[in-house]
Chain A
Amino acid sequence: MAEAIPSPAQATFWLIQGRVLFWIVNLLGSACFAYIVAKRLAPLVRGQRDIRFDRPLIRLGRLLQYWFGQWRHPRYLAAGIIHIFLFAGFIVLVIHTVSLLALGTSDHPAAAGGLYGAISDYAATVVFLCMIVAIVRRLLKPARYAVPARYGKAHTPDAIFLLALIALLMVADSVFEASHAAGQWQHHLPVEPLAVMSLPWILQGALMAAPLPVLANLYLGAYLGHELTFFFLLCYRPFGIQFHVETSLFTVYFAKLDRGTVKPVRWGVPDDQLDQVKSFGVKTFEDFTWKHMLDFYSCADCGRCSDQCPANAVGRPLSPRFLTIKARDYSFQHYPVWGGAHNGKPGQPLIGGIYAEDEIWSCTTCGACEAECPLLVEYIDKIVDLRRGMVDEGKVPQSLQKPLKALESRGNPFGKMEKKKADWVKAKDFQQTCNVRILNGDGSADTLYFVDSITSYDDRIQAIGRATARILHSTGENFGILGAIEKDSGHDVRRFGEETLFMALREHNTEAIKASGVERIVTSDPHAYNALKHDYKDVPPVEHISEVIARKVRAGDIKLKQVEDENDVYAYHDPCYLGRHNGIYDAPREVLDAIPGLKRVEMRRSRDRSFCCGGGGLALFYEPKEDQRMGVKRVQMAAEAGANVIVTACPFCMVNMEDAIKVAGMEGKMTAIDLTELVEKQMR
């Protein structure tokens, strides 16, 4: 095709022929990028092993959904839409960009025309507009972006710089296209028409009357500018949050598949060989697995995790976003691109360094951060690993040492005697109408009701145990409990970093469950449910009582009568370990909606956005520094939604809600009731 302006390969730039120049630029730029990436990979090579290459088809599917499909982005609608457009634009422009690179070194460039050319034009325009909006949002900041002083300074100038560079890239590309098209038009030479109303098209209009030398300079200058900007951005991105452009694909591909459970102490080391592991948990940066280090690189610093984090909302010293950013900055500092590794001493302890003890203990493992992150960055495993490290060094807060010691000696965090574990079934009025059997291994029952510690020992929460037993009894379930030989499920022992004690509890319970001969397990405790489902192996399948009730209501085995007070408004609070971690949102709602005359409202944070009650298990014992209790915020949300009864399906949520109602002075205005208690009350 005849060209009005020489192609960049053929042109001469300050005495250097284009082809030569751009070979050099391409080679240097690529080499520089490769070098930088290699340096960035250095700590990952030192990191711990992580098993992430399994189940490739599932991983590909998730890649399509979360990375390509930008699945999580619309949860924040405005920013989400901008990003979707931006991402789509980038994807479209990939081929275009590569062909542009080739253009500089080839005498006969292939013309990328037709439909793709038009789409590229629009893509460039959209990206450009997104950049403008993004820059404006940086200047007229949503409060969410703010960086609290203790975490450092906001990097607004840097952000705007990068956004501007991308905008420049789009402009350069557009000028390149526009000046070429204008030149062709002027000389009546064939040219692919530019997409109408796209940025190149607009620029072409402005350039139609420009003299050819000007067009040539613009054309070649834009090309040079594009190349240089492209490679600059390529090499600059790994120095900040923009690295996620490259790493996000890998982070999403390698993201954790097994929800609900916690990573083993060391991947590849079976439980019975753990004695040989010298050090448990994460104490230095190098103790993180390579995937976790990759997470640090991939964080886009969007802050959605910290936004949703309940600990952050109540003023605890924890912000998931900064957990990641601090680690990333640490790795940048200790594994710099220029200079030797460990600028600064090697293997610095993280606790007492970039992290504080309280920061790591403040997490309730609710999972709101993980549910929100568009890049599927993982947090719970990191927190658990950091806790394992602290436990290994004896750095456990005194408030947690007592329940841990009690768990070791008595099998429950309250220090109550084992022989009193089943005392709750002996409540006078209860025992006469509902005799709960204690299983003794004669295979007499096919269902085990796993009660767990708080429901067994807490005076108030025992009522949930009794309600559950009555429900099972009245629907003819052949069930029993383990009684004194049941120890705490260990769910939160594990998540607070005491892996060895957890394994002892699990081993004990697994044996007891197997010896009982049951075929299925039911529990009213979502923490026990989560443990038995995900942390325990070789135990019969487990259901939460809400699932059982929902099924029986559907089948007509449970009939529910009219609600007592028609004026009551009920709000269902999704417990973290029932809802977010296990996806059970609908069964409890079904049950509530099956109660005739019951008015139900949704709180503004529900389902996978549910706001943690304050935590269960050992979290009940920890004394955090906070401005307010999580439970108080939650009961206020219920009141805001117009409810005066908050229904939950977790004993820990119940403890926290009832405490919060007292502390918030809402007695008389709000009551809390467990799903089982409500169903029992309403059963005909």
Chain B
Amino acid sequence: MARIFAYIIHKSGVADDSAAELAAAAKKIDAAQSPAAVVTGWGTDCDAVCESLRASFDEVWKIANESLAYPNAELVRQALKNVLPAGCIVLVPHSHFGTDLSPGLSIQMNSAYVPDATDIEGADGIAMRLVRQEFGGQVSAHVRCDISSGAVITIRPGAFKPLASAPASGVVVDKSAAAGALTARRRYLETMAPETGDVDITKYPVLVSIGRGIGEQENVALAQDLADALGAAVSCSRPVVDAKWMEKSRQVGSSGQTVKPKVYLACGISGSFQHLAGIKGNPFMVAINKNPKAPIFRVADVGITADILEFLPELTARIREK
């Protein structure tokens, strides 16, 4: 069985939650192996991350290079190709960075590529059996991957529950020298934050979230009424922003905001994983949707099959009465 590496995403010296998920996924590939963490970056932030990972990984490979201070997938890819051994298995989170990095990495390492795995059923030295979803999560598929010359696998955020960690005492291995000269044909300039709206949805413990099911701009008022009655804020999924019914700052999801409310009301939201990726902290989730087969009902705590345009006003009225 080839060696398994987990690529760690980090920010401001703190490793992302996905690190533990990757470790859990690695165990499903090879329970006997302890994967190595790979960290690219520069300076004290990079060092701090590597230090913190010693508690959960036996080996932490540090690739520190000034040009890697900002995570530019083009440069990270070159570094990984130079540092990682041929034939290894690399796990990366399926995020905007992971999808930018990984397909090209698999080509450069001449290994197989399986994106967005939601489950790993097992592997031997030759092949791995995984599960991934298609058609926006409406169906799943079993996939067989030939790993004889290695594999790059991106892992669906939240699909693999972190394992209870036994305290480890890993070592940091400095592999910076092996990274080689990194040439930049894509250069990072800056990050622009979206115009902040009047409402910061990340600060609200209760969110009334609307999706495509709201139908049209004028119906947003129905959600606002409910939010007012609950002392909550209105957030939304991507299609609502694309249709220009709400500002981008209200969007919850992988390309929007990450929220950690106590209560989350998903109204007319189908439950695509990109949206759910923005909800952390396992809130009490209520899903209201016309379609009883909507994927959201798989993850919500409580479900109601109803037309939100009829249900929301009734709920609002009743709350106001009490």
Q: Which residues of A contact B (CB under 8 A)?
A: 399, 623, 629, 662-663, 667
Other contacts beyond A623-B217, A623-B243, A662-B309: 9, CB < 8 A:
A399-B243, A623-B216, A629-B218, A662-B222, A662-B313, A663-B218, A663-B219, A663-B221, A667-B313
Cα(A399)–Cα(B215), bound, Å: 12
- Residue-wise, chain B 291-313 has the 8 Å CB interface mask toward A (1 for contact) of 00000000000000000010001
Q: How far is the CB of A582 from chain B (nearest CB, A)?
A: 29
- Residue-wise, chain B 199-219 has the 8 Å CB interface mask toward A (1 for contact) of 000000000000000001111
A663 to chain B: closest residue by CB: B218
Q: How far is the CB of B238 from chain A (nearest CB, A)?
A: 15
12 of the cross-chain contacts (CB-CB < 8 Å) are: A399-B243, A623-B216, A623-B217, A623-B243, A629-B218, A662-B222, A662-B309, A662-B313, A663-B218, A663-B219, A663-B221, A667-B313
Contacts of B313 in A (CB 8 A): 662, 667
Cα(A399)–Cα(B219), bound, Å: 16
The list of the 8 closest CB pairs from A to B, nearest first, reads A663-B218, A623-B217, A623-B216, A662-B313, A629-B218, A662-B309, A667-B313, A663-B221
A660 to chain B: closest residue by CB: B218
- Residue-wise, chain B 311-322 has the 8 Å CB interface mask toward A (1 for contact) of 001000000000
Cα(A663)–Cα(B219), bound, Å: 8
Contacts of B217 in A (CB 8 A): 623
Count residues on chain B whose CB falls below 8 Å from chain A CBs. Answer: 9
Contacts of B243 in A (CB 8 A): 399, 623
Contacts of B216 in A (CB 8 A): 623
Cα(A663)–Cα(B221), bound, Å: 9
Chain A CB within 10 Å — which of B217, B218, B222, B313 has the most? Answer: B218
Q: How far is the CB of B97 from chain A (nearest CB, A)?
A: 30
B225 to chain A: closest residue by CB: A665
A399 to chain B: closest residue by CB: B243
Cα(A667)–Cα(B309), bound, Å: 13
Cα(A399)–Cα(B245), bound, Å: 12
- Residue-wise, chain B 221-232 has the 8 Å CB interface mask toward A (1 for contact) of 110000000000
Q: How far is the CB of B242 from chain A (nearest CB, A)?
A: 9
Cα(A667)–Cα(B314), bound, Å: 11
B290 to chain A: closest residue by CB: A459
- Residue-wise, chain B 163-199 has the 8 Å CB interface mask toward A (1 for contact) of 0000000000000000000000000000000000000
Contacts of B222 in A (CB 8 A): 662
Q: How far is the CB of B286 from chain A (nearest CB, A)?
A: 22
Cα(A394)–Cα(B309), bound, Å: 33
Q: How far is the CB of B82 from chain A (nearest CB, A)?
A: 45
Cα(A623)–Cα(B219), bound, Å: 12
B313 to chain A: closest residue by CB: A662
Contacts of B218 in A (CB 8 A): 629, 663
Contacts of B309 in A (CB 8 A): 662
Contacts of A399 in B (CB 8 A): 243
Contacts of B221 in A (CB 8 A): 663
Contacts of A667 in B (CB 8 A): 313
Q: How far is the CB of B52 from chain A (nearest CB, A)?
A: 46
Contacts of A663 in B (CB 8 A): 218-219, 221
Cα(A399)–Cα(B313), bound, Å: 26
Cα(A202)–Cα(B189), bound, Å: 89
Q: How far is the CB of B291 from chain A (nearest CB, A)?
A: 11
Contacts of A623 in B (CB 8 A): 216-217, 243
B215 to chain A: closest residue by CB: A659
Contacts of A629 in B (CB 8 A): 218
Cα(A663)–Cα(B215), bound, Å: 13
- Residue-wise, chain B 268-279 has the 8 Å CB interface mask toward A (1 for contact) of 000000000000
A628 to chain B: closest residue by CB: B218
